[in-house]
Structure 1
Amino acid sequence: MIHIKNLNYYYKKNKPILQNVSSNLETGKIYGLLGLNGEGKTTFLKLIAGILFPREGNIALEQLKSTSRTKEFHAQIYFLPDQPLSYSLNIDKYVSIYSSFYENFSLDFFYQSLQDLHIDRNNSINSMSLGQQKKLFLAFALAANTKYLLLDEPTNGLDIPSKAIVRKLLAKSIDENKIILISTHLVKDVENLLDHLLILKDCELVFDMSTIDISNKYKFQYTTESITEALYQETSLANYKTITENVLQEESLIDLEVLFNAVQQNKL
């Protein structure tokens, strides 16, 4: 579990980035982290990863604080930034050097993922396109097989077939002992994978709910006419996208884009 309590962070005191953020992230789940640009999603991931330190509050991964920066701490966590650094190494050499930091690294999973993503393992990394490099480092991150995996915009810049493959790889990677936290603005790319949703707004964590609880509490529907009792409603070219209270406990597919827009407008 990741315990986050009264987390505050800022570069300048009069310009907070995160304020009084508290949450508990449970193992066995894939979390989605949403927010507008500049709302602190990347900062939040870096704080959990121990790259940045909280100004106030604390983060603990089981018994390990994110401020410890011990070998034991870093062996359990992998943070993949939106734009990973390039290297003047071929793929095999890169893996032989950096996989040693992760005791549960799976070479079989890594090379199978490269195959699935159509990446030639003989390539030099800095000769690859940015999209190919992104797929390479995502395959490495998943193969590292760490207990905590933090992904910053993992599908940004990928083509449609690659996004589908990445979804399959992510689904394969989660188990009851792991936590995967995905920061994204491309919610359609990962919405079917998510077990829990976190939304940052105005420096605070304003939404923290499992997809099961969301389905039980809210009903999502598309209608040709406006619904007066709607909690939130927006129009598209052909219909109304609506959120209502799920009084009758009816099943409906969660529309994360509509949910996100409703939270942004303080409707939920």
Structure 2
Amino acid sequence: MVSLQHLYFAYNKAVPILEDVNLSLRPGRIYGLLGKNGAGKSSLMYNICGLLFPASGSVSVLGHTPALRRPAFLQQVCLLPEDFEMPPMRISEYLRMYAPFYPHFSHEAFENYMKVFGMPAQQSLQALSHGEQKKVLISFTLATNAKLILMDEPTNGLDIPSKRQFRKVIAGGLQEDQCIVISTHQVKDLDSLIDEVLILEDRRIILQESVSGITEKLSFRQVMSLEETEMPVYSEGSLKGYAVVAVNRKAEQSRMDMEMFFNAVMTEKEKILSLFQR
């Protein structure tokens, strides 16, 4: 569905943002694109949807070259940007203006997503708070039924109940022929939601691994003492002792903690990455 080969991108020739990025994304999957602020997550997503153009390398999305911005490509890709400015119109007018760009847009799905968020569909966009406007855009993005959906920091501006609702609509909105990529530095917001982890660091994708593949290699646990854990790779102190990421030598089953895993990779990069080298 998405293939990047040796992608190189820079806003100016002296400072590369992305360098030798190789990436392959499949339909029916929700990907979490993780990285520190300024790592290049937005730049990567904008190269994928054709709003930015690589200096070298190739990008193929659904058989199209995104930079050409052809209608057949644009109808199948929808980007939810981190920063946006809503036009001065009612939600119904927004739908009438923008929904026709997407041949498979579902008004019924849009209304259902809005209900999950507790949002009335008949309001002026300008009268809504930033978080409420984002709920409208999330609902619209999913209702497009685009084959590729890119979400850049979608939980920024959402309160805690709204983040829970976000996870609910994402989990129930994916179809077999769709691919969703969610970029965030608020890693905990993606817990129990994604199928594969992508970590962007040092201008390239340093890790692409399924959640099941991660829990096969690593175990996540809570212990009172680090002496209770064999082969600890990373630990954090907590009120109940220690949260630990350890090498999973005994094929234990554990629930992945996305924030712990990301912190472990950032702190013990070589140790973690060596476990997933093929």
Scaled by the length of structure 2, what TM-score is found? 0.93
Q: Secondary structure at the match of 1:155?
A: coil
- State the partner residue of 1:230: 232
Are 2:190 and 2:258, in contact at CA under 8 Å, matched by a contact in 1?
no
Could you tell me which runs of 5 or more consecutive residues in structure 2 were left unpaired when the two chains were aligned: 273-278
Counterpart-to-counterpart distance in 1, 2:54 and 2:10: 9
- State the partner residue of 1:31: 31
The letter for the 1-side match of 2:259 is E
- State the partner residue of 1:20: 20
- State the partner residue of 1:243: 245
- State the partner residue of 1:115: 115
Counterpart-to-counterpart distance in 2, 1:260 and 1:244: 14
Shift in Å, 1:32: 0.1
Shift in Å, 1:118: 2.2
Q: Percent identity over the alignment?
A: 37
1:74-93 counterparts in 2 under 5 A? Answer: 74-93=74-93
- State the partner residue of 1:260: 262
C-alpha change, 1:64 and 1:108, in structure 2 (3 Å) is same
- State the partner residue of 1:143: 143
Counterpart-to-counterpart distance in 2, 1:95 and 1:62: 25
The reply on whether 1:216 has 2:213 as its aligned counterpart is no
Could you tell me which runs of 5 or more consecutive residues in structure 1 were left unpaired when the two chains were aligned: none
Counterpart-to-counterpart distance in 1, 2:263 and 2:167: 24
1:44-102 CA-to-partner distances (Å, cap 9, x unmatched) read 11111110011111111131112221000100000001122211111101101100000
Counterpart-to-counterpart distance in 2, 1:121 and 1:258: 38
Q: Secondary structure at the match of 2:251?
A: coil
Shift in Å, 1:188: 1.9
Shift in Å, 1:228: 5.9
Alignment RMSD: 1.3
1:109-188 counterparts in 2 under 5 A? Answer: 109-188=109-188
1:14-42 CA-to-partner distances (Å, cap 9, x unmatched) read 21111111011111000000110000011
Are 1:3 and 1:24, in contact at CA under 8 Å, matched by a contact in 2?
yes
Which deviates further from its counterpart, 201-210 or 93-102? 201-210
Are 1:216 and 1:249, in contact at CA under 8 Å, matched by a contact in 2?
yes
The letter for the 2-side match of 1:238 is K
Are 2:102 and 2:146, in contact at CA under 8 Å, matched by a contact in 1?
yes
Q: Secondary structure at the match of 2:115?
A: helix
Are 1:84 and 1:137, in contact at CA under 8 Å, matched by a contact in 2?
no
Which deviates further from its counterpart, 100-109 or 233-242? 233-242
Which deviates further from its counterpart, 220-229 or 9-18? 220-229
Total equivalences in the alignment: 268
Are 1:82 and 1:152, in contact at CA under 8 Å, matched by a contact in 2?
yes
